[in-house]
Amino acid sequence: MKNYILILILLISCARNQSKRTSINIAKIDSTEIDGKIPTSSKNQSIQKYVDTLSIPLQYVVTIPLEVNKKKMDIRLRLSKSENLAGRKNYTIAEIQEDTNSFLPKSAYECIEGTVELQHWQVINKNSYYNTYDYYKSKDFKENDFVNKKKMIFRNEDYNFISVTDVDNDGYEDLLILDLSSSMRDNEMYQFYKWSEKENKFIFMSDFFDKAAFYGWDKTGKHLITGVSDTKERTLYKNKIVGGKLKTIDQCTEYAVSDQLCW
């Protein structure tokens, strides 16, 4: 009888020790930050999140479909994971994936890549690499929100950084690409790419805006507004296209201390 009681006590003790070891292992998983994701209090949810992160690749490609002058082309962004050691968070880096597209010159790809990289935290990062991946996965890794096919009207900031429109009124659609690397506060610089029917591709017009910021068209949609702005005043120019170049037809200055606006 004594031997029976002793064996029973040993079995209960072993079962308790095994239970403690299991709970400790689960607690370690539950309290660990896995690849930038902080698990919730639920043990099952934390384990599931760990499994989910394993299926997310370290890099993937997002396609920006363009249709210009009835021609279709794709701009392919390769997104990859990097680490921000200061904030201990992962974030997304974008670069243009090389392809055989002959419609756009190299400078256009460099401008798009630089602009996306500089504003990735605003547009595509969505707070983490994983959320960015989920965002694009839900769209089948295609993104149309970068591209705008209507004229940018001055003071209406509802446009994207790639605009497809006939800038010089020659009957062919052109490209305007926001150049954040050359922009300053309140001075958004754009690159102008004119479609060449003869060469069947875009040509970079490097001096089109003459180092001035581009603010869009006026309310009539006929005149382009350019200018230079600082903290005290903004000098604006109303332009029309003459011989494929900008010609100023009116000039106005807005002051920070006044609520009077031009046009």
Domain range for 72 is 45-145
**Nearest C-alpha neighbor of 182 from the set 163, 210, 203, 156:** 210
Residue 153 pLDDT class (50, 70, 90 cuts): very high
Whether residues 135 and 218 share a domain: the answer is no
Residue of 191, 194, 198, 59 lying closest to 129 (CA atoms)? 59
Tokens of 83: 């680490």
For residue 3, what are the contacts with CB-CB under 8 A and spacing of at least 6?
none
Mean pLDDT for 53-58 is 76
- pLDDT (tens digit per residue) in 178-224: 999 999 988 999 999 999 999 989 999 999 999 999 999 999 999 99
What φ, ψ does residue 147 adopt, rounded to 5°?
-110, 140
Q: Do residues 127 and 155 share a domain? A: no
> Do residues 126 and 189 both lie within one domain?
no
How far apart, in whole angstroms, are the C-alpha atoms of residue 101 and residue 82?
28
Of residues 147 and 27, which shows the higher confidence score?
Answer: 147
Q: Which of 31-45, 153-167, 191-205 has the highest mean pLDDT?
A: 191-205
Beta carbons of 235 and 227 less than 8 angstroms apart: yes
Are residue 246 and residue 141 in the same domain, yes or no?
A: no
Q: Give the pLDDT of residue 20.
A: 36
CA distance 57 to 244: 46
**Residue 225 and residue 235 in contact, taking contact as beta carbons nearer than 8 Å:** no
Same domain for 121 and 178? Answer: no
SS3 51: helix
Domain membership of residue 174 (yes or no) is yes
Residue 230, SS3 per DSSP: coil
Final residue belonging to a domain, choices 128, 145, 162 = 145
Q: Taking the CB of residue 182, how many other CB atoms lie within 10 A of it?
A: 16
Are 131 and 161 in the same domain?
no
> Token pair of 249, please?
């037809």
- With contact defined as beta carbons under 8 Å apart, do 180 and 115 qualify? yes
* Whether residue 67 sits in one domain with residue 103: yes
Q: Give Cα 37 to chain centroid, integer Å.
A: 22
User: Quick one: which of 184, 173, 181, 144 has its CA closest to 160?
Assistant: 144
* 116 — pLDDT class (breaks 50, 70, 90): confident
In the prediction, which pLDDT does 174 show? Answer: 96
> Helix axis angle, 43-54 relative to 2-30, nearest 10°?
50
| Residue ranges of E strands in 125-183 | 147-148, 162-165, 174-178
Residue type, 230: D
Mean pLDDT across the chain = 78
Which of 145, 176, 211 is at the close of a domain? Answer: 145
| Percent of the chain whose pLDDT exceeds 90 | 42
Say yes or no to pLDDT of 36 above 70: no
Q: In the chain, how many domains are there?
A: 2
- Co-location of 163 and 106 in the same domain: no
Judgement on whether residues 141 and 165 belong to the same structural domain of the protein: no
Q: Which of 145, 169, 203 is where one domain is finished? A: 145
Residue 38 domain flag: no
Structural domain contains residue 261: yes
Identify the weakest region by mean pLDDT among 52-61, 130-139, 150-159, 183-192: 52-61
The more confidently predicted of residues 26 and 163 is: 163
Instruction: Compute how many other C-beta atoms are within 10 angstroms of the C-beta atom of residue 11.
Output: 10
**Residue 256 placed within a domain:** yes
241 pLDDT band, cuts 50/70/90, is very high
* pLDDT single digits (tens) 72-115: 989 988 888 877 656 556 777 778 876 666 788 999 989 988 88
